[in-house]
Structure 1
Amino acid sequence: MAREKKRRSNGRRSPLAAAALIGIGLLLTGGIYAGASAAMAATDDNSTTTSTLTVEDGQKLFQANCATCHGMDLQGSEAGPSLYGAGELSVHFQVSTGRMPLQAQAPQAPQKPVQFTEEQIDAIGKYVQSTSPGPTFPDDETLDGEGDLANGAELFRINCAMCHNVAGAGGALTEGKYAPNLHTTTPVNMYAAMVTGPQNMPVFNNLNLTVEDKRDIISYLMYNQESPSVGGFTLGSLGPVSEGLFIWVFGIGSLIALTVWITAKSN
């Protein structure tokens, strides 16, 4: 009898077995669910990428996000200018840099995180272009970065450096306005800025700067973006202002510290 009882006790399942089986079941179920969710998300992403928004979609986006200031018919209002003749290139510049929709009234619309996808931006631009035609995108050759760098540098110094700095680092203007730095500006937005004249920037039409001139300036700026600083730390590329401040703080500071140290040693 004692042997029989012992055999029965050895045949019993451990109390942890049920918990282990439940855990394994949950892990399997969770893994299958996660895999299925990822597959569905990938399918949705692919379908979104391949879909194309229409002019009607752009109109809906405009009415929902832009019409409050620019009017339902692009006529403008007290809160925003008319978009008659603005064209899709101006829309791309303002929206792809996050300047629009405007967050708050200020001397200048600042850059901020972009609120729309490239597809949505293109749809809004197509709607504005269809309603009020204006400047449009250049051909690929204008943005290829293969222009004359020397001519581009000279044209930039003559026409742009007084605001944007000779190194494209930007600078302060009057009444709280400023010229942004061009270190991360895309080629298409460089062209858009010259053609549409956003903020305080003048419009450079083909009589001021030919398409080839614009290509040379864009090529020069693209070269600056990709080239390392051969002189070491740029100090913001702000020229004598930052360099003088550096010398004043660290150079004069070091001399004062050395003088105090020598005086303390002599005492």
Structure 2
Amino acid sequence: MTSRTQLTAIVTDLRIGLSLATILPLGPSTPVGDGDIARAGWTLPVAGLLVGLLGAAVYALAFVLGVTPGPAALLALASTIIVTGALHEDGLADAADGLGGGTRARKLEIMRDSRIGSFGVCALIISLTLRWSAVAAIAAPRSVLIALLLAHVAARAGLPLFMALVPPARTDGLSAGAGRPAGANAAIALGLGALALAIGFGPGKAILAVILLAFIGLLTTWLAIRQLGGQTGDILGAYEQVAETAILLMAASLFHTSP
């Protein structure tokens, strides 16, 4: 493969990943085929980097305009939700509703239903409140930038590995259609997440963050296999939300300061 061909493949993967993870009109000009999403899985942390940068920019702008940390944090959070089309929030809500259902078939049916139930509402309220309070507690714009970048990059870094190791619960749907990423793609995504954590938290704290994310991944895997027989797009979204919240809370404990 020539350098030009390699560059074209990388750009195509980036466009697929960004179009999947955000509402930005950056998708490739040709239709996405079977396996393309799995191949582009390594770009998900890169998409997270852009989402985190947007949230941090909104927070910094609000801070410059004299907005206090609480409302500024809410604006930053809103901007990340808008740019991602609430993709992961939707997954969290559907997963919470589904996991609270009856039989496996009923759980999958509930998760496919576009309506939101009590468990889904509660999960969203808890997630949004924790993330908002964490960013507001960090307060200082530079620290908020680091926290948002780490949260959005690291939370997406484990998704390709999760998709590779846990089989789809359905034969159709977003997760089944995406395919299962190759080990190399999952390793690249994990490497990007680990690198971000090492730069932002330092090596020692980064190890703790990796252990925390691994625990979240194992717990999510256990729930998905035990209750659904595998993973779905909603389960992936739920994992991202829990991981993102965990990193923001860790950042709040480390970076808590006054602006």
Short-chain TM bin? under 0.3
Q: Which has the larger radius of gyration?
A: 1
Q: Which has the higher contact order (CA 8 A, sep 6+)?
A: 2
TM-score by length of 1: 0.23
Structure-2-length-normalised TM-score: 0.23
Which is richer in helix? 2
